[in-house]
A and B are shown apart, each in its own frame.
Chain A
Amino acid sequence: MEFSELIRTGQAQAELLRGPEMPPLRGTLCVTGHHLLLSPGPQATPDLWLLLLRSVDSIEKRVAGDAGTITLRCKDLRVLQLDIEGVEATLDIARSIEALSSLESVITSFPFFYRPKGLRLGESWHFHPPERYYKRVARETRAWRLSEANEDFSLCPSYPRAVIVPRTVDDDALARSARFRQGGRFPVLSYYHAPSGTVLLRSSQPLTGPQKRRCAEDEELLQAVLAGARPGARGFIVDTRSAQAAKQARMTGGGTEAKSAYPGWKRLHRPLERGRPLQESFVHLVEACGDLEQSMDRWLSRLDGCHWLSHVKAALSTACLAAQGMEWEGACILVHGAEGTDSTLLVTSLAQLILDPLSRTMAGFQELIEREWIQHEAPIFLLFLDCVWQLGRQFPLSLEFGEGMLLALFDHSYASPFGTFLCNSEKERCLCEVRTRTHSLWSGLNQPKEQRKLRNPLYAPNPLAIWPSVEPQSLRLWQGLFLRWTHPPEPSEVAWEKVWQIATDQEKTEGSQPTDSASEPQP
Chain B
Amino acid sequence: MEHIRTTKVEQVKLLDRFSTSNKSLTGTLYLTATHLLFIDSHQKETWILHHHIALVEKLALTTSGCPLVIQCKNFRIVHFIVPRERDCHDIYNSLLQLSKQAKYEDLYAFSYNPKQNDSERLRGWQLVDLTEEYKRMGLPNSNWQLSDANRDYKICETYPRELYVPRIASKPIIVGSSKFRSKGRFPVLSYYHQNKEAAICRCSQPLSGFSARCLEDEHLLQAISKANPANRYMYVMDTRPRHRMQSWWATQKDIGRIILNAMANRAAGKGYENEDNYSNIRFQFVGIENIHVMRSSLQKLLEVSGSRGLSVSDFYSGLEGAGWLRHIKAVTDAAIFLAKAIMVENASVLVHCSDGWDRTSQVCSLGSLLLDPYYRTIRGFMVLIEKDWISFGHKYSDRCGHLDGDPKEVSPVFTQFLECVWHLTEQFPQAFEFNEAFLLQIHEHIHSCQFGNFIGNCQKEREELKLKEKTYSLWPFLLHDQKKYFNPLYSSTSQKLAVLEPNTVSFNFKFWRNMYHQFDRTLHPRQSVFNIIMNMNEQNKQLQKDVKDLESQIKQHKNKQTDGVLTKELLNSVRPESPALKTSLCLKEQTLLPVKDALRTVEGSSPADNRYSEYADEFSKAEPAVVSSEYGVARMTC
Binding site for B on A (CB under 8 A): 234, 236, 266, 268, 270, 289, 292, 294-301, 303-304, 307, 309-310, 312-313, 317, 320-321, 323-325, 327-331, 393-398, 458, 460-462, 464, 466-477, 479, 483, 487, 491-492, 494-495, 498-499, 502-503, 505-506, 509-510, 512-514
Contacts and interface: CB of A to CB of B under 8 A. Distances in A.
A292 B619 contact: no
A270 B613 contact: yes
Interface residues of B, number: 82
A32 B537 CA distance: 50
A499 B507 contact: no
Contacts of B605: 464, 466-467
Given A471-B523, A473-B511, A494-B430, A505 B325 contact: no
B488 interface: yes
B488 A395 contact: no
14 contacts: A295-B326, A299-B506, A299-B507, A300-B319, A307-B312, A329-B627, A458-B532, A460-B532, A462-B587, A466-B526, A467-B606, A491-B430, A506-B543, A514-B568
A511 to B, nearest CB: 10
Given A296-B506, A300-B506, A491-B431, 5 more contacts: A301-B316, A324-B607, A469-B522, A472-B310, A514-B568
B536 A503 contact: yes
B293 interface: no
A327 B517 CA distance: 28
A475 B536 CA distance: 27
Interface in B603-624: 605-613, 615-616, 618-620, 622-623
Question: Can you list the 8 inter-chain pairs with the closest CB atoms, starting with the nearest?
Answer: A304-B316, A472-B315, A299-B506, A300-B320, A509-B543, A495-B429, A324-B607, A310-B312
A469 B536 contact: no
Given A460-B586, A469-B522, A472-B315, A296 B429 contact: no
Contacts of B533: 458, 499, 502
Contacts, number: 202
Contacts of B552: none
A492 B605 CA distance: 28
B298 to A, nearest CB: 15
A482 B629 CA distance: 39
A304 B317 contact: yes
A324 B612 contact: yes
Interface in B389-437: 427-431
Given A329-B627, A394-B525, A296 B513 contact: no
A471 B522 CA distance: 9
B510 interface: yes
B547 A512 contact: yes
A398 B525 CA distance: 12
B618 A268 contact: yes
B82 to A, nearest CB: 28
A305 B609 CA distance: 29
B317 A301 contact: yes
B505 interface: yes
A396 B529 contact: yes
Contact of A475 (B18, B312, B572): B312
A509 to B, nearest CB: 4
Contacts of A398: 527, 586
Interface in B12-59: 18
B208 interface: no
B97 interface: no
Contact of B609 (A312, A467, A473): A467
A93 B609 CA distance: 57
A474 B312 CA distance: 10
B238 to A, nearest CB: 21
B102 interface: no
Nearest to A477: B507
B329 interface: yes
Contacts of B636: 464
A317 B616 CA distance: 10
A185 B626 CA distance: 31
B612 A317 contact: yes
B248 interface: no
B305 interface: yes
Contacts of B311: 310, 313, 472
B316 A300 contact: yes
B326 to A, nearest CB: 4
A349 B585 CA distance: 27
B119 interface: no
A303, A396, A469, A512, most chain B CB atoms within 10 A: A469
B3 interface: no
Contact of A321 (B313, B427, B529, B612): B612
A502 B517 contact: no
A396 B586 CA distance: 9
B274 interface: no
Given A296-B325, A487-B507, A328 B627 contact: yes
B18 to A, nearest CB: 7
Contact of B583 (A297, A461, A509, A513): A461
Interface stretch (B145-153, B183-191, B440-448, B574-582): B574-582
A53 to B, nearest CB: 31
A153 B218 CA distance: 90
A493 to B, nearest CB: 10
Contacts of A475: 312
Contact of A328 (B305, B329, B586, B632): B632
B632 A296 contact: no
B615 A473 contact: no
A466 B626 CA distance: 22
Contacts of A295: 326, 506
Given A397-B586, A466-B605, A467-B607, A307 B627 contact: no
